[in-house]
Amino acid sequence: MQIDGSTRVDGLVDEYPFLIDFLGSYAREFQMLKNPIMRKTVARFATLSRAASIAGVALPDLLAAVADEIQRQTGKAVEIGSSAAPQVQDAADRLVILKSIIRDLHDGTPLEEVQRRFNKAFQDVDPAEIAAMEQQLAQEGMPPEEIKRLCDVHVAVFKEALERQEAVPVPPGHPVHTFQKENAALGQVIGEIRAALKVAEDSPDTAGILSRREALRAALSRLNEVEKHYQRKENQLFPYLERYGVTAPPKVMWAVHDDIRAMFKKAFAALESEDALAIVERLNAVLTAVEDMIYKEENILFPMSLQILAEEDWAAMREGESDIGYALVTPDRQWPASGERSVVGAKHRAGLDAIPLDTGLLTLEQVNLLLTHLPVDLTFVDENDTVRYYSEGKERIFPRSPGVIGREVQNCHPPKSLHLVNRILEAFRNGTRDVAEFWIEMQGRFIHIRYFALRDIQGHYKGCLEVSQNVTAIRNLQGERRLLDWE
């Protein structure tokens, strides 16, 4: 048997399963092989050369270690083939050269020259290496705006190497599978709009474009569903990448999202005009931008994320997706397996004395700080009409003292208003009402007072929340303030 830098990892671990534990102990980065999803995705196409790069180890050392372990476990001699290609293999050296190439590109070196340097030094490039390069460039002082400005040129440099990657398959229902499913649907809409534009542009005058504005507007509205796709990236995927220290690439990509959002606004505005040339120009701009983003996702973001994130991260991500929604598609339901539920961020909770809430984790100190810094007064009365809590903010509206805790709420009000208290609580308890509100003027202030029925997931009444707020300043607001004004 012979192994070399081109030997695929998945074939090795299939033939010699003991290599899973061995490689996991050899380098922390190889522990991903213990994850079945990662073995079916990343490892399926990774070579030992790329694995050495990911782990930051020398390829000859890795080859020798694997050969020795196979011989030790099986008694079979393993021949190490020649890695004759003069490509850079050391991960640190690769990163230095990548950064140098991109810095020269930013400084004005022609793309063709930069491309030749890259091809000479590298046979391939890993999406995680691109992320690491952007991360280090940002840490070394290159503004994310500058990285974003030449992002398309970066992709052009790496294009050939990226396209040599084989597509990474993921199970139906996996967040990446849903992202890819959306991209396919968005691509179809882009094709429809391009076809409609071509027909319209072939008309002898501008009437062809203007007569099709409604159809183009409807198609553009469908394409604008990509907003949900971007929001899931920003609020679901990016936070998990950031937990692993990958911060610069999400910032750059988020900035591009905002550029695309601005393009959509301009395209919709153009469709309201009589300017056929502007319609064509702005529609083509947004179509190209969305297509370019799809390319970056499929060839860089998703493969990189599959390398970095653990299965429990993806499972937690899957649970939160529906809160944001999907672009043009419905996700498949096969993953994760029925009955499996992740604990959101479980691996990040070690040593944290926190309370697991529906949408996060907070310590008791943090809960108290939040409640006491809200710009409202809160009082909670349980299902037995007993006062259990009030917030102690900096500027209280109505006086409270610890003696009220454990007291029946009816005893906290004067007899003349007791009938209103009982009426509200009874309506909350029997389910005929969920909110009651009042507003009063008191000592020159306008006070808004609201009562909310609290119910559990089954709809059972669990108490009443009183919220009081001084809205005097809010009532006086006029116009808009979009900029920070701390002068």
Task: Give the model confidence (pLDDT) of 243-262 as tens digits.
Answer: 888 888 888 889 899 999 99
Q: Which CATH class is domain 175-323?
A: mainly alpha
In the chain, the largest separation of any two C-alpha atoms, in whole Å, equals 95
Q: Is the pLDDT of residue 338 over 70?
A: no
pLDDT, averaged across the chain:
82
Distance CA 281, CA 286 (A): 9
Q: What is the DSSP string of 163-219?
A: HTSPP----TTSHHHHHHHHHHHHHHHHHHHHHHHHHHHTSSSTHHHHTTHHHHHHH
Mean pLDDT score, 211-224: 94
Q: How confident is the model at residue 232 (pLDDT cuts 50, 70, 90)?
A: very high
pLDDT at 149: 64
Mean pLDDT score, 14-18: 90
Least confident interval from 151-160, 213-222, 350-359: 151-160
Distance CA 252, CA 304 (A): 15
Distance CA 112, CA 129 (A): 21
- Other beta carbons within 10 angstroms of residue 367's beta carbon come to 13
**Scanning the structure block, which residue is given the tokens 């939040």?**
370
Q: Is the pLDDT of residue 350 over 70?
A: no
Between residues 146 and 331, which one has the greater pLDDT?
331
Q: Is the pLDDT of residue 355 over 50?
A: yes
Mean pLDDT score, 188-203: 84
Q: Say what the pTM is.
A: 0.60
Annotation: CATH topology of 2-80: SP0561-like (1.10.3910)
What element of type H or E holds 448?
strand 445-455
pLDDT at 118: 64
pLDDT at 84: 45
Amino acid identity, position 64: A
pLDDT at 130: 67
Pairing of strands 377-382, 387-390: antiparallel
Q: Is the pLDDT of residue 314 over 70?
A: yes
Domain boundaries, the chain: 2-80, 91-163, 175-323, 367-475
Mean pLDDT score, 369-388: 93
pLDDT at 92: 58
CATH hierarchy code of domain 367-475? 3.30.450.20
